Structures are given as structure tokens and as C-alpha cells.
Amino acid sequence: MAKNLGIELTDDQLNITPPPDVNGLKKDPSLSLYAIPDGDVKGRVVAILLNDEVRSADLMTILKALKAKGVHAKLLYSRMGEVTADDGTVLPIAATFAGAPSLTVDAVIVPCGNIADIADNGDANYYLMEAYKHLKPIALAGDARKFKATIKVADQGEEGIVEADSADGSFMDELLTLMAAHRVWSRIPKIDKIPA
């Protein structure tokens, strides 16, 4: 950290003895994501980037799969208010893309349906770039796969990016498996090139 701040440490500073344990506590597993046994994802939060005319059937599949595992869904859009799905269902928005940054969630999903509505939205694109840079799992369904260009993912895909024609099948299982691993560590060599 000192090097990144342009600070040179002396030998004395580099060899400081760690402080003693506080109240005999060395570490507490409740403070570590990696101490959770069997990869449980209960209590995690997933951002779902929405657009008007989102495919309702896919969104319902996503929401049911998340709820079954105790994962909280946060519905986001470019503005506050509501989004109307392709079947006329009205969905309340929890926050805007800029108002609930990807740093506050564990994964990001973009369901299919009228993706042109947000494809050129700078905040939506930045949201995905930031999530990618912070090694978060990302799931893209149907026409949402257009966002692969935003995060510079090749056509053949890569680890940590779940993609499918729809949210049916193994789409959500793959995402939940990635979430159990917390981060996509294989992405580290690429993150310095992401402007987020």
C-alpha cells in the first residue's frame, strides 16, 4: 500500500511487531466471507439492471431462484419509479444505477428484453465495468449479452460471466455457484485495463 501512495518505508517500519490480541481474540469467523461453510449464499445481495419491457418470465425465474437461496434482489434502473415488463407487470425500482453502486452488491444480473433501453446508458455501462473490475460474477441473458463488449469479454466468454438465451436452465445455478466463491480471481490480470 505504501508503494502505491509513493511512500518509502524504513526497515524499522517494515519490521514492526503486530499488536497483541484484543481480549484473546485472534480472529472471528463471523467476519470472514470465506469462513462460511459449504458456500452458502444466504443474505447476499444481487443487483438486477432493468429496462422497460424486460422479459417478465425471465425476471420471475431469476427472482424465484434468488429467493429460494435467501439472496436479496435489488432492482435498479436509470431513474427512480417503476419499470413495466413485457407482459404489463409494473416493477418498483429500489435505486438508480448511480445510487446503488456495484460495490454494494455481490453479483449483477442483466435480464433480456429491450436492452436497447439501457445499452447506451453510461451509468449502466459503468455499473457493469465496476462490477467486472471488482471481480463480481455477472450474468447476461438474451440480448443483454451485448454488454460483453462493454466489459471487453470475447465472444467465447470467460469464467465469471454467465450467459444464456434466457434465465431458464442452468443460468441461475451457474451464477449462484460463482457467488459461493465470492470473487472471480482469474479476472485479476485484466482489471487494470478497466476504466472504473
pLDDT for res 33: 61
Q: Rounded to an integer, what distance in angstroms lies between the CA atom of residue 182 and that of residue 136?
A: 7
pLDDT of residue 138: 97
Are 135 and 188 a contacting pair, CB within 8 Å? yes
Q: Which of 44, 189, 38, 21 is nearest to 108 (CA)?
A: 44
- Amino acid 122: pLDDT: 94
Q: What is the pLDDT of residue 155?
A: 82
Which tens digits make up the pLDDT trace of 38-76?
Answer: 678 999 999 999 999 999 999 999 999 999 999 999 999
Q: Residue 54's pLDDT is what? A: 94
Q: The C-alpha cell of 166 is what?
A: 434466457
Q: CB 60: neighbour CB atoms within 10 A?
A: 15
pTM confidence score? 0.83
CA dist., res. 109 & res. 18, Å (int): 41
At 157 the pLDDT is 83
Distance of CA 68 to the CA centre of its chain: 19
Distance set, CA 126 to CA 36, 79, 102, 132, 133 (Å)? 30, 15, 9, 10, 10
In the predicted model, residues of the chain with pLDDT beneath 50 are: none
User: In CATH terms, is domain 43-193 a member of 3.40.50.12780?
Assistant: no
Instruction: Domain ranges for the chain, please list them.
Output: 43-193
